[in-house]
Structure 1
Amino acid sequence: MRQPLLLAVALACGVLLGANPFRPSSQNPDATSRGYLKFKEILSYVDRDYVDTVDAEQLSDYAISRMLERLDPHSVYIPAQEEQKVSAFLQNDFDGVGVEFNLFRDTATVIAPLNGGPAEQAGLQPGDRILAVNGTRVTGTHVTMDQMFGLLRGPRGSNVQLQVLRRHQSRPMTVSVTRSRIPNSSVEVAYMVDNQTGYIKITRFASGTYDDFKQALGDLKRQGLSRLVLDLRGNPGGYLDRATKLADEFISGTRKLVYTDGKGDQYDTQTYSRVLGEFEEGPLVVLVDEGSASAAEVVAGALQDHDRALIVGRRTFGKGLVQQPITLADGSELRLTIARYYTPSGRSIQKSYRNGLAAYEKDLTERARHGEYFHADSIHFADSLRFRTDHGRTVYGGGGIMPDLFVPRDTMAASSYFTRLQGRNMLREFALNFYQDHKTELEGMRFEQFKSTFQISDTQLQSLAARAANEGIATNATCLRRCSPLLRNQLKAYIARSAYGKTAYFQVLHDRDPEMQQALHAVGDGVTLLAQGLTMK
């Protein structure tokens, strides 16, 4: 269920430049004019004479989108009504109520209010079920996540009335929340794994990513950080300049970080490291996977080419095209591919799209079918795509960045039983109910004690399986037994999220995260690093 969303975000996000400073022009104005007049003529006939009434603007939007598909998978047209929502992904804040929620049994349920945000100040608690928003019923109506976001977000300073049902209360209550500015940091979490090793996860390269990263890194350095795990898994990209500024924090001297090559020389650029970075020395591991795309690949490629970091995980998405956002007169936006980008060694990591958009969208599925997520030797690169890092190691272009240390997916996470439990939100709902039933005990326990002693029992797993069976997910004793270590860890992490916050969630989750465990082994083991032919400085 994750791949289509992942691909959609990667297509819409990509590597973006800033505002377009150039006016429209054409290298072949006569052909452009003829094409425009032909399209206008046909659209006029359709609007006037077609047997049924049509929406000419909607037809025009459709035609534009199909035209761009002939160019490449990442040139996209964003209608005016969708532009704000798409652009918000790369902003560092939004106006809303500040609550994390999920949909359980067709009801929006509070996972956690943002610390210090308006929802928390209004008294919302984990487990509260939202029945109505400003009088509009949202339970039992098959409301979507997007629709809930639309109802909860709104102008700063405006009020929203929530009808909420709290556990063990027979009547719903009305909570008034005043919308405010809600931080939307792209640094999802940053914490010290031990007294030397820091961990930072970046979810996208948004407008404030560089500043957020600098603050997180500074905080960890004050806690004793001398080695770092940078997590770019699932990061679909964003602004190119934020990615290069972040890479500059790790690379000393004046060395090339990325270069772009477009039509003529208008969009040809070369970006070099130029500042004295905050972490130019010290062991560095970067986590990547098939969801790491575009700007995330720029960072990973630069660090790999300069032998500055060990790249751990699985082959990245493979997006090496740069888009220019162009705002159109009606408020819609064209994101047009204007260049290809290359890593310092000269690699283009854009995967092929010669077989069309449909085949391109199936690439991640095809990787799974070929066994790539589980076996590194299933991946083959042409000799013509061979390049060398600063220290002479072989790396390849085309189709993403191959990590230095391959880590297969957890086979238990790929089982149909576990996937169905996750897809139906059974694990998160079970954990939230457990938290509510044991809230007093958990509040009296320090997180360190919870992490070291708390365990999900066999009885609790059987209870989860029984509840899932009632929801139509048949119990498979063999699968349940195989998945039990992963289920226990995931449930414990969700409980920690409700009881102790987001950082606690990741700390528990990382105990059974194979990529994270390999990263910690690599970043702390000089022998492993030397075996990869790296000098970590």
Structure 2
Amino acid sequence: MKGYSKKYLPLIIGAACAIGVFIGSALDFSDSSEGLFTANAKKEKLNRLIDYIDYEYVDDVNTDSIVDVTVNSILEDLDPHSTYIPKQKYDALAENMKGDFVGIGVSFYTLNDTVAVIKPLADGPSEKAGIKAGDRILYANGIELAQKEIDTDSLSSLLKGEINTTVNLKIKRNGVKNLLDIPVKRGLIPIKSVDAAYMLNNKLGYVKVNRFAETTYNEFEKAITNLIAQGATELALDLRDNGGGYLDQAVKIADEFLKEGKLIVFTKNKSGEINKTFASKKGRFENTKVFVLINENSASASEIVAGALQDNDVGTIIGRRSYGKGLVQREMNLGDGSAVRLTVARYYTPTGRSIQKPYSHGSNDKYFEEYLARYNNGELLSKDSISVNDSLQYKTPKGKIVYGGGGIIPDVFVAKVTDYEKESLNYMLKGGVMDRFIFNILEEDRDYYNNLSLEEFNQQEIITDQILTDFIDYLMKFNFDFKTKNYKYLLKKYLKATVAEQLFGSNAYQKIISEDDLMIQKIIELDNL
């Protein structure tokens, strides 16, 4: 990050997380747009223009790109969350929100033109077939993979395929003379939306959800079932940096905390039609302490959960004012593999408040740069600096004052870290810059690390001063000029967490990086009152 002025660091941090709001903007409404497309002069005018350019214009023109630009221009003049998805991006976005794909279940690097396994996914096809961390995959169905012309996309297509089909792998394993022939039957591989689930103390469970995909509630249900088995009678739900997703998944999670008949959310469309959603009989945390963590990047479905609990006087919302997205999108197919996510309604919390922050048609840049405005007005450091509109004041059943007009204001405020160089380093380290370095460290004694238990791992000094020095030297090769001597503790923590992730998974990683998390410390403090 050489050459960046410190004054731009808050904007860089905000921009890094704003992407999540786009990814999480699709809500689960059926596409009922059939029959809307009757012929009219406006549509015919556009069709004729495209035809004239195709057949009469003096030069060859890619009219597909013209159409893409036109669609984007139209949507940009509507609202900030009506978006166009080109066909070349649609499959990747759909897969991300679907929550799973068909494959063999390994995370890997292409290391010196060889596919090196970082870790087989727990209970996945590769782990069941006997593949281990550190294995090199040399052939897949007779096709040599150690070729420069096979890029990551091509490699993924070779390893993915139809469910229950078999891919025959040839594996090179350290310490084994001959190549191993291992057939792997492809299966459904989850794209996890629950990053972590563990106990904060003997009664308080913790679950971190990164988005609301099709499988999120199923993941959440498994997580809380496991925590209850460990003794959890209270729950902390971490929705920080969660850009949202499917409405029904948010409703199901909110239902776990609300008694039967309580209003969770309602939507209102162009014609004034109102659809209300109420809590059902189920709910394993209805009569106990509940904590929800939010920040300035918690949006959409995250705000539905936080707003439903706050407006029903359930639990405690902790953190900073949420993003402020109260618009509902429906995904509509455009017929050529592309799609549009069009805003079709607004949603409201149980007290009737809209938490959509203000926007002006056609001024999306200002809308998405609001993070910088929050930084400048001081609201990331003090709840008293949050600007509220008294005309948008509402009362919960127990008389608590809440506000509409732009995000969920937490019940308990926790200020943002003011060391923005440290915060920028945090975001950089979360981006995977350590992964390859740590993989090489583990390769130096793979047998030892692969046989290490989590208990043994926690008891040892995994990251020595020498490993830290080597990593700082490694960073310098990429022109990272952070004052690393001021953040050695932070670097050691992330190095250890990355080792834990590659050996034991994301739960172990999250637990380590959260050791000095101010919001989690606040939860534990409130829980002990």
TM-score, normalization: structure 2? Answer: 0.85
The one-character-per-residue Cα deviations of 1:377-414 (angstroms, maximum 9, x if unpaired) are 44322323332233222222222212222223445674
CA distance in 1, matches of 2:157, 2:381: 39
Q: 1:173 to 1:214 in 2, by over 3 A?
A: closer
CA contact (8 A) 1:163 1:174 kept: yes
Describe the SS at the equivalent of 2:329: strand
**Which residue is equivalent to 2:422?**
415
CA distance in 2, matches of 1:512, 1:168: 40
The one-character-per-residue Cα deviations of 1:437-495 (angstroms, maximum 9, x if unpaired) are 35455456542343255363333322211222234334x5xx32321222121111111
The one-character-per-residue Cα deviations of 1:270-316 (angstroms, maximum 9, x if unpaired) are 11223231110111111122332111110011111122121122222
Q: Among residues 348, 351, 354, which one is paired with 1:342 in the alignment?
A: 348
Shift of 1:25: 3.8
1:277 equivalent in alignment to 2:277? no
1:194 equivalent in alignment to 2:178? no
Shift of 1:57: 3.1
Q: 1:481 to 1:81 in 2, by over 3 A?
A: closer
Describe the SS at the equivalent of 1:287: strand
Shift of 1:72: 0.9
CA distance in 2, matches of 1:378, 1:108: 52
Give % identity.
36
Moved more, 151-160 or 40-49: 151-160
Partner amino acid, structure 2, of 1:518 = K
The one-character-per-residue Cα deviations of 1:477-516 (angstroms, maximum 9, x if unpaired) are xx32321222121111111122333322222222122222
Describe the SS at the equivalent of 2:515: helix
**Which residue is equivalent to 2:517?**
513
Moved more, 341-350 or 156-165: 156-165
Shift of 1:23: 4.0
**Which residue is equivalent to 2:22?**
11
Describe the SS at the equivalent of 1:237: coil
**Which residue is equivalent to 1:486?**
490
CA distance in 2, matches of 1:412, 1:140: 42
**Which residue is equivalent to 1:496?**
500
Moved more, 485-494 or 189-198: 189-198
Correspondence list, 1:436-447, <5 A: 436-442=443-449, 445-447=452-454
Shift of 1:342: 0.9
**Which residue is equivalent to 2:528?**
525
Q: 1:253 to 1:457 in 2, by over 3 A?
A: same
CA distance in 2, matches of 1:417, 1:77: 30
1:427 equivalent in alignment to 2:430? no
Describe the SS at the equivalent of 1:415: helix
CA distance in 2, matches of 1:502, 1:276: 29
**Which residue is equivalent to 2:327?**
321
The one-character-per-residue Cα deviations of 1:20-46 (angstroms, maximum 9, x if unpaired) are 3464448xx8xx822212211221221
Partner amino acid, structure 2, of 1:11 = F
Q: Among residues 246, 253, 264, which one is paired with 1:257 in the alignment?
A: 264
Q: 1:8 to 1:104 in 2, by over 3 A?
A: farther
Partner amino acid, structure 2, of 1:525 = N
Q: Among residues 326, 329, 333, which one is paired with 2:339 in the alignment?
A: 333
Correspondence list, 1:5-84, <5 A: 6-14=17-25, 16-21=27-32, 23-25=34-36, 33-84=40-91
CA contact (8 A) 1:350 1:398 kept: yes
Shift of 1:423: 7.5
**Which residue is equivalent to 2:3?**
none
CA distance in 1, matches of 2:46, 2:168: 48
Shift of 1:149: 4.8
CA contact (8 A) 1:353 1:360 kept: yes
Q: Among residues 234, 238, 244, which one is paired with 1:231 in the alignment?
A: 238
CA contact (8 A) 1:290 1:364 kept: yes
Q: 1:11 to 1:92 in 2, by over 3 A?
A: closer
Q: 1:58 to 1:137 in 2, by over 3 A?
A: farther
**Which residue is equivalent to 1:534?**
none
Describe the SS at the equivalent of 1:14: coil
**Which residue is equivalent to 1:353?**
359
Moved more, 164-173 or 501-510: 164-173
Partner amino acid, structure 2, of 1:512 = D
Moved more, 377-386 or 416-425: 416-425
CA contact (8 A) 1:302 1:343 kept: yes
The one-character-per-residue Cα deviations of 1:215-247 (angstroms, maximum 9, x if unpaired) are 322222222111111111222222212211221
Describe the SS at the equivalent of 1:353: coil
CA distance in 1, matches of 2:427, 2:202: 38
Moved more, 414-423 or 257-266: 414-423
Unaligned runs of 5+ in 1: 527-537
Describe the SS at the equivalent of 1:323: strand
CA distance in 1, matches of 2:423, 2:390: 37
Describe the SS at the equivalent of 1:312: strand
Q: 1:7 to 1:472 in 2, by over 3 A?
A: closer
CA contact (8 A) 1:204 1:237 kept: yes
RMSD: 3.5
Shift of 1:358: 2.1
CA contact (8 A) 1:15 1:321 kept: no
The one-character-per-residue Cα deviations of 1:418-445 (angstroms, maximum 9, x if unpaired) are 3696378442333333333354554565
Q: 1:5 to 1:480 in 2, by over 3 A?
A: closer
CA distance in 1, matches of 2:112, 2:396: 52
CA distance in 1, matches of 2:430, 2:256: 38
1:391 equivalent in alignment to 2:398? yes
CA distance in 1, matches of 2:22, 2:147: 32
**Which residue is equivalent to 1:243?**
250
Q: 1:498 to 1:143 in 2, by over 3 A?
A: same
Shift of 1:71: 0.9
The one-character-per-residue Cα deviations of 1:163-218 (angstroms, maximum 9, x if unpaired) are 87767999998876443222334333322233211111222222232233223222
CA distance in 1, matches of 2:381, 2:112: 34
**Which residue is equivalent to 1:529?**
none
CA distance in 1, matches of 2:358, 2:108: 38
CA distance in 2, matches of 1:63, 1:139: 41
Equivalenced residue count is: 516
CA contact (8 A) 1:99 1:112 kept: yes
Q: 1:109 to 1:417 in 2, by over 3 A?
A: farther
Moved more, 224-233 or 203-212: 203-212
CA distance in 2, matches of 1:511, 1:378: 29
**Which residue is equivalent to 1:208?**
215
Q: 1:139 to 1:172 in 2, by over 3 A?
A: farther
CA contact (8 A) 1:199 1:231 kept: yes
TM-score, normalization: structure 1? Answer: 0.84
Moved more, 5-14 or 67-76: 5-14
